[in-house]
Amino acid sequence: APLVLDLLLVALIMHAILQKILSTYSLKIKMPQISWLIIIFLIIAFFQMFNPALPNLMRGIYGFRVSGAFYMISFFAALLTIRSKEDILKIMKVFIITGLTVALYGIYQYINPSQKEMLYATRGEEWSGWYYMAKPFSTMIGPFHFGLFMVLSAFTVLVNLVKNNIIKIGRFKLKLIFVLLVVGLLLSLTRASYLAIVIGIMCLLFLKIKREKIKLKSIFKFVGIMIAILTIIVLIKIIPQSQMVLHRVGMLGNFKDSALHARIQVWPIRVEQILQNPLGFGIGINSGENIFQASDNAFLAVGIETGLSGLLIFTAIFLSILKKCFKLLKTLNNPDLQIIALWITSFTIALLSVMMTNHILQAYPLNMFFWFIIGILYKLKDMERQNDESINQKTTTDK
């Protein structure tokens, strides 16, 4: 099924390009500067498929897809196909509905896993319940994919709760969905996802309060959200084996955590490997079933696979995205487009926090969703400009 979706993604982009060409009889397609950075990175990643350090070409082809490089083309899918605010709102509704479905199944799986799910979670070892290694994954490939999708869906709901309800779903329904998404997130047992939602919520509310100046109502909303999350953590005790959830949450405050230390200790080794081979070891060598030991850092993994040139371009892409996020939050005047920019900004910062200790952009379909919403980000200013022109034109006509 993912391969079929990959082919549909490529077909969608080709269809959109052909439409542009046939409608204008020109090969000129307006693209933001970041598009060229992404194209350069994709070219570097493509040639890394033939790196002699890889065992064979099939590993390189597999790595190009699994490393997440391939899904950067989702950026162009959004850039070429998203035309209006209504398109974005439909996509946000899809994230909410699918997020709710995945959360409900994750909750069910946590309480009543099937034999096949137990076998998949334990990799064939004896089942002893959900714990550090065997974590719920719902309908996703793994627990990190499940946890981060809950974060994305939760932010989609949250921006509608802290601002105006632009997707027209009742506030009570949104609050209920948010609670279920947070429960699903907690049951994923992935601390990186826990940290991501906390960082993302703090970022979202800070940016909102900063833009609108400090308002008592905004502070109450922040306190209310944190109380709601704490209440969910307390109520989750009624679910069997919930002690593991509470234990995992409690470990966020443990700065002497051995897993975190082990990941950070690997970083100097990875930096040394990048410097020893600045041309890279080949795309996919640090992805999936690792030939190298996992880097546990998205930027270091990119450096190992694509070399210093790939690392520099990849870093430049993310710096460009952050710059665009903060610029749009300052310059957008349309309140609906503002809230969409806030949604994408908060999720991007949340994802960056996870990328420091995991190569989460290898996680399908999160990588595809991420690059797609970044494509949306780069359409927002054009949408506002077109909307202003349409209003001006209508005003002139009326006069």
User: Does position 214 have pLDDT exceeding 50, yes or no?
Assistant: no
Does residue 104 surpass a pLDDT of 90? yes
pLDDT over 90 at 40, yes or no? yes
3-state per-residue secondary structure call for 44-101: HHHHHHHCCCCCCHHHHHHHHHHCCCHHHHHHHHHHHHCCCHHHHHHHHHHHHHHHHH
380 exposure class (CB count in 10 Å sphere: 0-12, 13-18, 19+): buried
Give the model confidence (pLDDT) of 109-119 as tens digits. 988 999 999 99
Region 337-366 average pLDDT: 87
Instruction: Pick 327 or 214 by higher pLDDT.
Output: 327
For residue 258, give both structure tokens. 């051995």
10 pLDDT higher than 80: yes
State residue 75's pLDDT score. Answer: 93
pLDDT averaged over the chain?
82
Block residue for tokens 């070219």: 43
Instruction: Name the 3-class secondary structure at 202.
Output: helix
CA geometry: angle 243, 246, 250, nearest 5 deg: 135
Which among 319, 330, 324, 325 is positioned nearest to 346, based on CA atoms? 325
Structure tokens at 231: 């209440």
Asked if pLDDT for residue 252 goes beyond 60, the answer is no
Please answer whether residues 182 and 100 qualify as being in contact, where contact means their C-beta atoms are separated by less than 8 angstroms: no
Cα–Cα dist 51/154, whole Å = 40
Q: What's the pLDDT at 189?
A: 85
**Of residues 187 and 237, which shows the higher confidence score?**
187
Residue 19 has pLDDT above 60, yes or no: yes
Q: Which two tokens stand for residue 239?
A: 């679910």
Read off the pLDDT band of 223 (50, 70, 90): low
Average pLDDT over residues 355-370: 85
Between the two ends of the chain, the Cα-to-Cα distance in Å is: 55
CA distance 152 to 162: 16
Angle at 107 between CA 248 and CA 362, to 5 degrees: 65
pLDDT at 216: 46
Model pTM?
Answer: 0.85
Tokens at residue 31, please?
């693209």
pLDDT over threshold 70, residue 381: yes
Residue 314 region by backbone torsions, left for phi larger than 0, else alpha for psi between -120 and 50, else beta: alpha
Token pair in block for residue 163: 């601002």
Q: Tell me the pLDDT band of 123, cut-offs 50, 70 and 90.
A: confident
